[in-house]
Amino acid sequence: MEGLTSIFRYHGVVRKLVSSLKYRFMADTLKTLINLLVSYEPFQILGSEEWLVIAVPLYRQRELWRGFNQAELIGKALSDYTGWSYKAKLLERTRATQPQISLEKKKRLENVKTAFRVKNVTDGSDEVVLRNKPVLLIDDVWTTGATIRTCAKELKRVGAKKVWGLTLAA
pLDDT tens sequence across 13-46: 888 888 777 777 666 777 777 777 777 665 666 7
The DSSP 8-state label assigned to residue 67 in this structure reads S
pLDDT tens sequence across 5-16: 888 889 998 888
Class of residue 6 by CB neighbours under 10 A (exposed 0-12, middle 13-18, buried 19+): middle
> For the chain, what are the domain ranges?
3-169
Q: What is the pLDDT of residue 70?
A: 87
CATH class for the domain made up of 3-169: alpha beta
Kindly provide the b/e burial profile for residues 27-66, where b requires at least 16 CB atoms within 10 angstroms of the residue's own CB: eebbeebbeebbeeeebeebeeeebbbbbbbbbeeeeeee
pLDDT tens sequence across 110-166: 889 999 999 866 655 444 678 899 999 999 999 889 999 999 999 999 899 999 999
